[in-house]
Structure 1
């Protein structure tokens, strides 16, 4: 961490406490970590995963339950990837770690045409490799560094381009039922994480697989949300609150709510009311 002036140090302490409080609250709200868990922290070398690891290390010391941390980085064999940075950093801070080597870079470059979006395939390959490795090392939880902005962006990506009303859940069970994935940064804002990472001087490793890819749909959504927040401060908080305040009967998903059985429900409720009135009118 870089040396800070008194005023900057005060701001840093406030920011760190806020992020730690938000991560701790998310963990508690969704029961993310239990006694004896072995938490595999997926460390990409970006600001989010560095912040995630740092916060979990702090919470590990004060949490009411005991849990183990192990950091795992997937070396995707990108040309020019600085392989020494993460091992040196993790050794310095004393966190057990593994470097998993999988040449997903070549697969992505072979399948995706030049200039096309690579993130979808890249993330699927990365996820499959990490899920499998979690089983190998006996990890009971897989911690990812997605934050509140990621959840909101995913909501609108699915809404605008996927025709579905879903986001990233703070906690989920993988499709095969073998892994529980947690996102302790679900309540944390990206701008806070970016500021914190800068003040901590984490050895950030940029992803150069896809370049900037400014045409990504996610980037368009990100800019839309940022514009909304400038015009209407607090809008993102309101939208995020909506993710935790869902009314299935006010949507149109027939599998989520029994619209077909509404009449039967109505008759049952009317019968109950008639019976109640009759009981009150003619007590035994």
Structure 2
């Protein structure tokens, strides 16, 4: 009996240790993103868009945590859009937000009904749903006097968007960490830009967030984003470090070695011309790359693969 109690105590200490490391890592990544892109400034009112999924729960939790010791003052208000999906558990988010003592607003709009009416059966609903949701959130931000709108997109979302645009849109384009809203009244920020999805998954499980599934989009089979997501997950398993290298590429763009004449003035190039900071022609060089350290410090919580699969399905 005593051995069992001691073993349980040691296990709890180990879990607590690894959770603290995970939380510090997420806090550091969010803090670095805020600093690198000047996402939050003195006196800001940050509207955190809370969907009920793991990403937005983690975003809200980390921002609340960071605010405790931030060198500047900023306010946080959580906003959820109740889209009137059938069987949506409308009580979960208000109860959770009350329990943590954060200001919040629940916006009720029947976008589900509009989407089901306008989109033929079997077609993807993401485009129309996204436009409707975005317009409502912009309006709500203005009503609340919010200066920043925080979204829960993370590093993996940015890479998925990059490949989606390359494969299906013919563009070298991803998600920006910071941009002006469509109506020009607020700044949209993505503080989780440096955070890994698998660490967010572990954090959400450890915190036991009351996850709410999205039955509108999450139940659609064969979405292009799901195909790309699985491709990246497979690469991450087979080639450790590849995801980190690809994300680094988003931060190390060389316009002179692409083909966009609007980004680089190819027409003005003349022989004997040397341009500072521009790499030369390496077309005939053998490319060699240093092995990239993965920096994959896994957090060995006692979670089963089923735990991770379940939370992925209700993202």
Question: How high is the TM-score relative to the length of structure 2?
Answer: 0.81
Among 25, 39, 43, the residue aligned to 1:18: 25
Q: 3-state DSSP class of the match of 2:105?
A: strand
8 Å contact 2:52–2:212 — kept in the other structure?
Answer: yes
Pairing 1:169–2:176 present: yes
Name the structure 2 match of 1:282.
Answer: none
Structure 1 runs, 4 residues or longer, greater than 3 Å off: 263-269
What is aligned with 2:156? 149
SS of the equivalent of 1:262 reads: coil
The correspondence for 1:70, drawn from 67, 77, 85, is: 77
Q: Secondary structure at 2:68's aligned position in 1?
A: helix
Measured in 2, the distance between the counterparts of 1:27 and 1:200 equals 23
TM-score, normalized by length of structure 1? 0.90
Higher helix share: 1
Q: Give the one of 95, 98, 118 matched to 2:102.
A: 95
| Post-superposition offset of 1:11 | 1.1
CA distance in 2, matches of 1:45, 1:92: 15
Is 1:188 paired with 2:195? yes
Residue in 2 that maps onto 1:247: 254
Q: 1:138 deviation in Å?
A: 0.8
Choose which of 130, 136, 143 in structure 2 pairs with 1:136.
143
Q: Distance in 2 between matches of 1:33 and 1:267?
A: 40
CA drift at 1:137: 1.1
Relative to structure 1, the CA distance from residue 40 to residue 268 in structure 2 (aligned partners, 3 Å threshold; closer, same or farther) is closer
Aligned partners of 2:228, 2:182: CA distance in 1, in Å?
Answer: 27
Residues 1:226 and 2:233 aligned together: yes
1:268 to 1:126, Cα distance in 2 relative to 1, 3 A: closer
TM superposition shift of 1:268: 10
- For 1:170 and 1:265, locate their aligned partners in 2 and report how far apart those are by CA, in whole Å: 39
1:131-172, Cα deviation, whole Å (9 max, x unpaired): 111111110000000010000000000010000001001111
* Residue matched to 2:211: 204
Number of positions where the alignment pairs a residue of Structure 1 with one of Structure 2: 267
Query: Structure 1: 5+ residue runs without aligned partners?
Result: 270-284
How far did 1:8 drift?
Answer: 1.1
Is 1:110 the counterpart of 2:117? The answer is yes
Query: Are 1:48 and 2:35 counterparts?
Result: no
Structure 2: how far apart are the matches of 1:182 and 1:209? 25
* 1:121 Cα offset (Å): 1.6
CA change 1:22–1:268 in 2 (3 A) is: closer
TM-superposed deviation, 1:226: 1.1
User: How far off is 1:179 after superposition?
Assistant: 2.0
Q: CA RMSD in A?
A: 1.9
